Amino acid sequence: MKQAIYPGSFDPMTYGHLDVIKRASRMFDKLTVSVLNNDAKSPLFSVDERVKILKEATKDIKNVEIDSFSGLLVDYCREKDVHIIIRGLRAITDFEYELQTAQTNRKLSDDEVDTIFLTTSLEYSYLSSSSVKTIISFGGDISQFVPEFEVPLINAKYSEKRK
Ligand code: ADP
């Protein structure tokens, strides 16, 4: 069975992430989308909330599983017996970091884990979780960037923050 893991923060999940998920799910028998539990960042949504959102967004894609992990990605890959990581590439600005991370992961895994990059669809090339957060923090409309069901969830988080 051909399997891959698509790891990320997904905080919040955007149409850009969803596009990568849909495309990668067509290339593999099973795709695990996994939320990184990273204590260093102060997230908008908890890991459990992000898992729930990803589950809702992908409920119609049969071969996609949603999970979370902490620690080294290569250890998680080993645990799941998966040898391919999927990452999205938007612009040249993503490239340096992604290249370094991919090479580090290959080294750390003794060449057992490789990374495949999907280039962004043109319509989402500008889209990032942080721009969604910036727009909402100024009260802007994010409905073009995230699925409809996610808009009130993000809005509620920002209303809490403003209190
Ligand atoms: P990180 O994992 O670096 O915290 P994210 O959770 O925002 O970042 O993104 C996870 C992955 O999805 C990364 O590989 C990122 O490049 C990719 N990605 C994010 N937004 C888009 C987009 N609009 N188009 C394609 N790939 C994207």
Q: pLDDT of 25-44, one tens digit each?
A: 999 999 999 999 987 668 99
CATH superfamily, region 3-162? HUPs (3.40.50.620)
Catalytic residues: 17, 41, 90, 129
Instruction: Report the percent of the chain where pLDDT is more than 90.
Output: 87
Q: pLDDT of 121-144, one tens digit each?
A: 999 999 999 999 999 989 899 999
Closest ligand 1 atom, residue 98 Cα: 14
Closest ligand 1 atom, residue 127 Cα: 23
The pLDDT value recorded for residue 40 is 67
Expressed in angstroms and rounded, the spacing between residue 127 Cα and the centre of ligand 1 is 9
Classified as helix, coil or strand, 28 is coil
**Closest alpha carbon to 3 in 20, 24, 17, 34:** 24
Beta strands of the chain (E only): which ranges?
Answer: 3-8, 30-36, 64-69, 84-89, 114-119
The pLDDT value recorded for residue 10 is 97
